[in-house]
Amino acid sequence: MTMSNMATRNDIDEVIGIVKDFMSQVSVQFDEVNSRLDTLDKKYDSLVNTIDGFISRIDKYETEQASRDHQFEKLLSWARKVSEKTGVPLENL
The pLDDT of residue 92: 77
- CA dist 85 and 16 (Å) reads 102
Q: Is the pTM of this model over 0.75?
A: no
Kindly state whether residue 39 falls inside one of the protein's structural domains.
yes
Total tally of structural domains belonging to the chain = 1
* Among the listed residues 25, 26, 22, the one whose alpha carbon sits nearest the alpha carbon of residue 14: 22
Kindly state whether residue 55 falls inside one of the protein's structural domains.
yes
Kindly state whether residue 91 falls inside one of the protein's structural domains.
no
pLDDT at 43 > cutoff 70: yes
Per residue in 44-88, pLDDT (tens digit) is 999 999 999 999 999 999 999 999 999 999 999 999 999 999 999
